[in-house]
Structure 1
Amino acid sequence: MEPPLSRQVEARADVLVQATLEALHQDPFWEAREGAERARLQGAEDVRAHVRHLVQSLDAHQPSIMESYVHSLRALRISRGLSTLHLDTHFLRLGAALEAQGFGPGTEPQEHLRVAREALHYPSGLARRLQDDAPELSHAATARLRFYLTPEDLPRLEEELRLQLSYLADALDEGRPEVMADHVRWYVGFWPRRGFGLLAFTTVLGMLKAVLASRHPQARLLLATAGVSWEETRS
């Protein structure tokens, strides 16, 4: 008799953690943000916690366990300088690792991860509106910045812009402008590692302000304030 899905996933925990970490750490952000050793140890701990809660939700056949778990991650996210999009990427990579182990689309583990990712959306308000509009806004900003880059780099830039908008939505939801300001202050030093050549981070922020314009005035104002904080770091 085949063991329950929860036990099958649990038995593959080490493989899932390793595969998820390898995919995540293709992005130099993690090492730059936390240091190589801490990124490895903390990353493994994070993904193992994801798998552990997934096993619990599969045991109980209650995807809501994953939803509650996601809500508990929000405070940790800000304290570590991460965005909601980073959490979503964690679950996306874990989903790919599960698929490689035979738990593909339509399976119960994938459905529970889908619920977890849905829980990362703010329920309402300015932050939710910005989350919903982020794909369109990042695409519009990328189109205006296309002359700085080769066509091959445009998808990477669009993804990068979505990351900045995720930080902005988080700051809006928290009502804490310093969340975005602290991020910008750190990110300006990291930006060259993104490999966008002569495209400056200030130019990227300026274009985001332009596309936010009248549709998201509060977000635009918050970003402008963060930009002032960044300028201060130059002196």
Structure 2
Amino acid sequence: METPSRLIEARADALAKASVEPMYQDPFWEARYGAERTRRFGDEDARFHVRYLVQSLDEHRPSVMEEYARWLRTLLVSRGMSTLHLDLNFAGLAAALEAENWGPGTEPYEHVRAAREALRYPEGPSRALQDDAAELCRAATSRLALYLTAEDRPRLEDELRLQLSYLADALAAGKPELLADHVRWYVGFWPRRGFGLLAFPTVLGMLKAVLGARHPQARALLATAGVSWDETRS
């Protein structure tokens, strides 16, 4: 009987393709990096994810995937991406595995789960921000309800999660410029998200408000991100 690693290896191309396809539906990638570069590096990264999964299965060591996830996060954050982007890549791989009957409880799936868990910062303000992200996103979305349709609310929560991920990464790296560079670019991209009159500075201003006293470092960093807060009151 073939081992899970050999079975995964035999399906590597199909798993990689299935895992990354949802990413290409997000206009962020083409706008940020261009269509050709997005496809080339997206496909390449997806194949690398599967290769490292095969290695971790060969060695029966989820730590292979954990170490890979942390290393790759550092690289991608330096190139304008966020922890959330990488987590979504791994989530896509988990979904592709589950579609081929390697779901929760199977060794391949659990190794990918370990990689996703490794993306949680071990401590400090970045970990606190990750832990509170869902609550913060709900709170900010609720306060912005007048701008939103019912269909917009979950989309805005996803957007807020992304901005908090960039914020957590900048805090963890000790590099405020990571957030500032992202915000400067995202202001121009924001209209493509389709939230009508809801402006990006308003969204960030509301995030700043809900961070409050519980996340002083994150709030202070967000205040230096290079956008105008004139539209907000916090």
Alignment of 1:60-209 (within 5 A): 60-209=59-208
In structure 2, distance between residues paired with 1:146 and 1:227: 25
Structure 1: distance between partners of 2:227 and 2:194: 24
The aligned residue for residue 6 of structure 2 is 7
How far 1:228 moved relative to its partner?
Answer: 4.1
Q: Cα distance, 1:105 vs. partner?
A: 1.4
Q: Is the 8 A contact 1:6 1:55 kept in 2?
A: yes
Q: Please give the alpha-carbon distance, in whole angstroms, between the structure 2 residues aligned to 1:89 and 1:197.
A: 26
State percent identity of aligned pairs.
70
What is the match of residue 44 of structure 1? 43
Counterpart code for 2:195: F
Does 2:211 correspond to 1:212?
Answer: yes
Shift of 1:229: 8.2
Q: Which ranges of structure 2 fall in alignment gaps of 5 or more residues? A: none
Q: Distance in 2 between matches of 1:61 and 1:229?
A: 51
Paired residues of 1:81 and 1:183 also in contact (CA < 8 A):
yes
State the 1:230 CA deviation: 9.7
What SS is found at the alignment partner of 1:151? coil
> 2:24 aligned with 1:25, yes or no?
yes
2:206 partner amino acid = M
The amino acid of 1:9's aligned partner reads: I
Give how far 1:182 is off: 0.4
Supply the AA of the counterpart residue of 2:12. Answer: A
1:80 is displaced (CA, Å) by 1.7
Unaligned segments of structure 1, at least 5 residues: none
Instruction: Tell me the alpha carbon deviations over residues 187-233 of structure 1, each in whole angstroms, 9 at most, x when there is no partner.
Output: 111111111111100110110010011111111110010034899xx
Report what 1:227 is aligned to: 226
Whether the aligned pair in 2 keeps the contact of 1:128 and 1:169 (CA below 8 Å) is: yes
Partners of 1:230 and 1:19 lie apart in 2 by 41
Q: SS of the counterpart of 2:226? A: helix
CA displacement, residues 7-59 of structure 1 (integer Å, 9 cap, x when unaligned): 11111111111112211111111111110011001000101110000000001
Tell me by how many angstroms 1:70 deviates: 1.0
Residues 79 and 201 from structure 1, CA distance in 2 versus in 1: closer, same or farther, beyond 3 angstroms? Answer: same
CA–CA distance in structure 1, aligned partners of residues 209 and 153 of structure 2: 18
* Residues 1:90 and 1:230: Cα distance change in structure 2 (over 3 Å): farther
Report the Cα distance in structure 1 between the residues aligned to 2:79 and 2:229, rounded to whole angstroms.
19
Aligned-partner SS, 1:103: coil
Question: How far does residue 139 in structure 1 lie from its aligned partner after superposition?
Answer: 0.6
Separation of aligned partners in 2, 1:32 and 1:8: 36
The amino acid of 1:113's aligned partner reads: V
Q: Give the Å deviation of 1:75.
A: 2.5
Question: Does the CA contact (< 8 Å) of 2:202 and 2:229 recur in 1?
Answer: no
Q: Which amino acid aligns with 2:57?
A: L
Letter in 1 for 2:67: S
